A and B are shown apart, each in its own frame.
Chain A
Amino acid sequence: MSELTAKTIAELRDGYRSGEFSAREVAEAYNGAVAAARALNAYTVETPEDALAAADAADSARRSGQPGSLAGIPLGIKDLFATRGVDSTAGSRILKGFKPPYESTVTANLRKAGAGMLGKLNMDEFAMGSSNETSAYGPVLSPWRRKGSNVGLTPGGSSGGSSASVAANIAAGATGTDTGGSIRQPAAFTGICGIKPTYGRCSRWGVVAFASSLDQAGPMAKTVRDCAILLEAMAGFDPKDSTSLDLPVPQWEANLSSDLRGKRVGIPREYRIDGVPGDINALWDRGIEWLKDAGATPVEISLPHTKYALPTYYIIAPAEASSNLARYDGVRYGLRETPDGGNLDAMYSATRADGFGAEVKRRIMIGTYVLSAGFYDAYFTKAQKVRALIKDDFRKAFEQCDVILTPTAPSAAFGIGETTDPLAMYLNDVFAVPASLAGLPAMSVPGGLDQQGLPLGLHLIGNEFDEQTVLNAGLAIEERAGFAAKPDKWW
């Protein structure tokens, strides 16, 4: 059955609908593949019975003629999403054993569309990381390796379990979340597609909060079409999320078209930065040629505040995180540590000391500092003002172009343990963070391999609400790049 796990979601959907194979056969093939790939450490919990139950429901729905859009499709779910009765721990020790009595809106939408859940996917703790190394469960290993090397590589982060599972064919697709690149950078590192929609498209309800003004869920999958299919099911207005967009969900899949005639592609000059490998700039140039070939016209644009995006992000995101993570106090759920004879305050402090990892503590400390009396305006308000300027850069740019093309990340995947300096790690998201700060839809599509044989991604940023142009440009690149490389199976 291994050929079933190599299929795209669109192929699985069509094969199941035509009766070529049953949803149960698909679920069994995936359950077997998941169990055989534990060396990757991609799943924190496996739920084969959930996948089978959804498959059986899909098979009977097909007989009665009413299958949902994702009937028969087994997915991996990032551990940041609350799933009823199944451990939902955000990759953190402080949420150990937490089984929500409720389901996140996004996963409820996926289930309603007929999808099954293979399990929960490993991730950086509270989505704070770019390599999956901050997870309390240990790092996920990428299925990819450098040519002639056995060095374990990161699948990117924070959605590293999601990217690794799709690349290794142990999930047909996966949910990810993106606060400052956490869908796009891991997608680029593993040769898959991933899209972060406009802020507010996917409900944040039931998604463990990191930085609420930035957090946005999105799909990760093998192809652009699969991303469109998944996003349609995940998105939608939700009164339970105060920033949910009250807009109808477009038919992104039906409107997919790689004909870009009349479209202008912005090439931001500030994204040509020193120290980026030649392979990445060469791929960027090829990407421009591919979009031209699809009918688009490249135009040079300027996003003058680009260099301030990362420092802005590293004030706003930790500030919001320090506030959001105040809820982990050992009272209502998760870990509790009480020192002998300790009072309530000692319990809070011991629980949080024991439950949070080093990167999470670092960010809570930064966030608490920039929000503290005397520093609030100089740091937090200042960052919010620069964020307004970054947003305005994009507003002006989209008067001159319809979509923006850049590289996704400034490097290919790196080795586990190779990047130890927190600031060097933060630089991974230098190309991804500006679109996050501006709330814009953005996608990574694989473009080719570098000289080490590792995947590289191209990054498309669209105007707000215009996921369609992002997906269409992604499709044009996908068709021309012809990226078919898969990692050699070593696990």
Chain B
Amino acid sequence: MHREESDRLTADFPLCVACVGLPLSGLAAIRRPIMSVTNEQARHIARLARIAMSDEELERLVPELNNILDWVEQLSEVNTDGVEPLTAVIDQKLRLRDDVVNDGGIRDEVLLNAPEAQHGFFAVPKVIE
């Protein structure tokens, strides 16, 4: 455990509230200060993700999310000082293509699967009051 790093990481989390051990066979149990998601935060995340959730659903989900977050928290013990985040798993350059129109003129195909299409457009509930 890289103490300094772990402290810094947890210091970043004002919500750090509990110590949880994870009873998983096959992986070492993890015991360290962890952060935890509150019902209120979970409601906010659900809102960001645009998924309607009842209070009962959120209550069920919060301990599951916290279990998973406690478990991934073990990454804080890895020293990653000076490590570049991996963004391309196989080293290659992104290709550029010629800036030309190479597709289009298929409006009807594009609208084929629309739950509601009107006058050649996707139709949605009224946006402007």
Instruction: Determine the distance from Cα of A410 to Cα of B27 in the docked complex, in whole angstroms.
Output: 12
**Least distance between B100 CB and chain A CB atoms (Å):** 13
Residue of B nearest to A362 (CB): B64
| Segment touching B, from A16-24, A141-149, A363-371 | A363-371
* Interface residue? A389 (CB, 8 A): yes
19 contacts between A and B (CB under 8 A): A200-B90, A307-B28, A311-B72, A314-B72, A331-B114, A343-B126, A344-B124, A344-B126, A345-B50, A349-B51, A362-B65, A366-B69, A369-B41, A385-B80, A388-B84, A388-B85, A422-B68, A423-B24, A424-B24
Which stretch, A374-382, A400-408, A452-460, touches the partner chain B? A374-382
Known: A349-B50, A364-B49, A365-B61. A391 touches B86 (CB 8 A): yes
Q: Is A369 in contact with B65, judged by CB distance below 8 angstroms?
A: yes
**Are A332 and B126 neighbours in the complex by a CB distance under 8 Å?**
no
Q: Check: A322 CB closer than 8 A to any chain B CB.
A: yes
A361 to chain B, nearest CB (A): 6
Which single member of A245, A305, A361, A388 contacts B86 (CB below 8 Å)?
A388
A438 within 8 A of B: yes
The residues of A that contact B25 with a CB separation of less than 8 Å are: 274-275
A343 in contact with B127 (CB, 8 Å)? yes
Cβ B83 vs Cβ A388 within 8 A = yes
Which of B89, B113, B116 sits near A98, CB closer than 8 Å?
B113
Report whether A344 and B75 are in contact in the complex, using a CB–CB cutoff of 8 Å. no
- A368–B42 CA distance with the chains assembled, in angstroms: 10
- Are B68 and A387 neighbours in the complex by a CB distance under 8 Å? no
Given A322-B49, A378-B9, A389–B80 Cβ distance below 8 Å? Answer: yes
B residues engaging A (CB < 8 A)?
9, 12-13, 22, 24-28, 37, 41-42, 45-46, 48-53, 61, 64-65, 67-69, 71-76, 78, 80, 83-90, 92, 94-95, 97, 106, 109-110, 112-116, 122, 124-127
- List the B residue with the shortest CB-CB distance to A273: B26
Contact bitstring A311-348, B, C-beta under 8 A = 1, else 0: 11011000000100010011111111010001111111
Contact of A382 with B51 in the complex, beta carbons under 8 Å: no
Taken together as a complex, chains A and B put the C-alpha atoms of A312 and B72 apart, in Å, by: 7
Closest Cβ of chain A: how far from B126's Cβ, in Å?
7
With known contacts A239-B97, A427-B26, A365–B49 Cβ distance under 8 A:
yes
**Contact in complex: A348, B46 (CB < 8 Å):** no
The reply to whether B78 and A386 form a contact with Cβ atoms under 8 Å apart is yes
Would B92 and A245 count as touching, CB distance under 8 A? yes
Cα distance A274–B24 in the bound complex, in angstroms: 10
Q: Which one of A99, A361, A430 has the highest number of Cβ atoms from chain B below 10 Å of its Cβ?
A: A361
Q: Which residue of B lies closest to A313 (CB)?
A: B72
CB-defined interface of A271-299 with B at 8 Å, one 1/0 digit per residue? 00111100000000000000000000000
Asked if A126 is at the interface of the complex by the 8 Å CB criterion, the answer is no
The answer to the question of A242 belonging to the interface, with a C-beta cut-off of 8 Å to chain B, is yes
Minimum CB–CB distance from A359 to chain B (whole Å) comes to 10
- In the complex, which residues of chain B have a beta carbon less than 8 angstroms from the beta carbon of A356? 51
CB distance from B21 to the nearest CB of A (A): 13
Known: A308-B78, A385-B86, A423-B67. A333 touches B52 (CB 8 A): no
